[in-house]
A and B are shown apart, each in its own frame.
Chain A
Amino acid sequence: MTRVTRILALASAIAALVAACAVYDGPARISAEAPDRAAFASVAPLLVDRCGSLDCHGSIYRSYRLYGVFGARLDAAHRPDSPATTPAEIAADYDATVSLEPEIVARVASGAATAGELTLVRKATGAEQHAGGARLPSGSDGERCLVAWLARRADDDACRRAVAAP
C-alpha cells in the first residue's frame, strides 16, 4: 500500500466516523407557518406578468413553474393568451412559490428571517445572477408586493401599482 493510498484510506475512515456521529433529530418538524394563501391573489398577477412568460417560468421545463395568462396553462382547453389567469392557476402558483425553499419561507413568514434569504427574492430583485434579470427591482412596488406578502404583511396597493406599471 503506497503512502498516498494509506492517507486516502485514513481520510475515508475519519469521514465515515464523523458521519456516523451525526445525530438524527427525529421529532424535529418544519413550521407550518406560511404566507397567506388568500392574499396571494394580489401577488399572483404580478408574478405571472413579470416572471411567467412562455420562455421563462411559464415554461413547463422550469422547476419553478408559474401558470397563468401569457404563460403555460393548467387547463388543456386554455391557451396562453386566453382566458385570464384562473383561481386554479393562482392556487398552483402559490404552491410553487412557497415550496421553493419551504423552511426559509416559513422562517420569513414567522419573522425569524428576512425575505432576502430566499433565492426567489434575490433573483427577482437582481441581487443574485438571474437569466431573466431583475424582474422586481430593489425598491420597486413589485419587490414591496412580494416581500410584504412573504412576511404576512400583504400590501395590495403595492401589488396593484406594480401590475399597472409598464
Chain B
Amino acid sequence: ALVFATCMACVGCVDPVHDGAVAALGPEDPAVAVGPRHRADQPCLVCHGGAGPAALELSVGGTIHLREGEGSPADGVEVVVRDARGREAIARTNDTGNFHLARGAFDPAFPLRVEIRRAGRARVMRSEIPREGSCSACHRGAGDTLHVPAVYLEARP
C-alpha cells in the first residue's frame, strides 16, 4: 500500500503538458546569462508561471520591439498594465526589449489592459488580455494563423 501510494504521489507530480512546453523552448543561448535579458521573444510564464522550473514567479512578461516587422529590441519602454480592479503597474524594458512584473509585487486580476510608451510615443493594445501573462503566447514573429505579430513600438514607415 505504501509503495502504491508513493507511486501515485509521484505520478501526480508529473505534468507532461507543462514539461513539453518547457522542453519546446529549447536550451539557453550560451551567450546570454540566465536573468532578465535571457530568452527574448519566448513565453516567460511557461517557466516563470509558478509551475517551474524557474523560481521567480511572474505575472506578466514579454519583449517589446522597436519597429513593426523588425527584430530590434526597444529599450526603456514603459509597459503600463492595468488590471480589472483598477490597479496599475509599470515595468520598463531592458536592452533586449524584455520586461517583467513579479507576481509578488503585482498579482493582477484579469482581464488586463496594456499600454506601451516611450518618449512621447505610445501604443494601446486594442483588446483586453483575459488570462495570459506572456506576451509571446499570442504575439510571435511576423504573425501566423494562431499568433499576432510581435509587440512593437513604432509602425512600419
CB of B145 within 8 A of CB of A133, answer no
Question: 0/1 per residue, A39-56, Cβ < 8 Å to B?
Answer: 000000000000001111
Stretch at the interface among B32-40, B74-82, B88-96, B129-137: B129-137
CB of A133 within 8 A of CB of B111, answer yes
Determine the distance from Cα of A23 to Cα of B110 in the docked complex, in whole angstroms.
48
A83 contacts across to B, CB distance below 8 A: none
CB of B145 within 8 A of CB of A56, answer no
**B40 → chain A, closest Cβ, in Å?**
20
Q: A70-B127, A133-B84, A133-B110 are in contact. Are A55 and B138 (CB under 8 A)?
A: yes
Determine the distance from Cα of A55 to Cα of B43 in the docked complex, in whole angstroms.
12
**Total A-B residue pairs with C-beta atoms closer than 8 Å?**
54
Q: A133-B110, A133-B111 are in contact. Are A53 and B127 (CB under 8 A)?
A: yes
Q: Is the interface of A mostly helix, strand, loop or mixed?
A: loop
Residues of chain B touching chain A, judged by Cβ–Cβ distance below 8 Å, are 84, 110-111, 126-132, 137-138, 143-149
A132 contacts across to B, CB distance below 8 A: 110-111, 130-131
Kindly identify which residue among A56, A60, A79, A135 contacts B148, using a CB–CB cutoff of 8 Å. A79
**B139 → chain A, closest Cβ, in Å?**
9
Shortest Cβ-Cβ A-B pairs, 4 listed: A55-B132, A54-B138, A132-B130, A56-B130
Kindly identify which residue among B111, B126, B137 contacts A54, using a CB–CB cutoff of 8 Å. B137
CB of A72 within 8 A of CB of B130, answer no
Determine the distance from Cα of A75 to Cα of B143 in the docked complex, in whole angstroms.
14
Q: Is the interface of B mostly helix, strand, loop or mixed?
A: loop
B138 contacts across to A, CB distance below 8 A: 53-55, 80
Q: A55-B137, A55-B138 are in contact. Are A80 and B129 (CB under 8 A)?
A: no
A128 contacts the other chain (CB 8 A):
no
Q: A79-B143, A133-B111 are in contact. Are A55 and B131 (CB under 8 A)?
A: yes
Question: 0/1 per residue, A57-75, Cβ < 8 Å to B?
Answer: 0011000000000101101
A153 contacts the other chain (CB 8 A):
no
Determine the distance from Cα of A113 to Cα of B79 in the docked complex, in whole angstroms.
47
Q: A54-B138, A133-B84, A133-B111 are in contact. Are A81 and B148 (CB under 8 A)?
A: yes
Cβ-closest chain B residue relative to A55 = B132
CB of B131 within 8 A of CB of A54, answer no
Determine the distance from Cα of A75 to Cα of B144 in the docked complex, in whole angstroms.
11
CB of A73 within 8 A of CB of B110, answer no
B129 contacts across to A, CB distance below 8 A: 53, 55
CB of A78 within 8 A of CB of B145, answer yes
B144 contacts across to A, CB distance below 8 A: 79
Determine the distance from Cα of A54 to Cα of B110 in the docked complex, in whole angstroms.
15
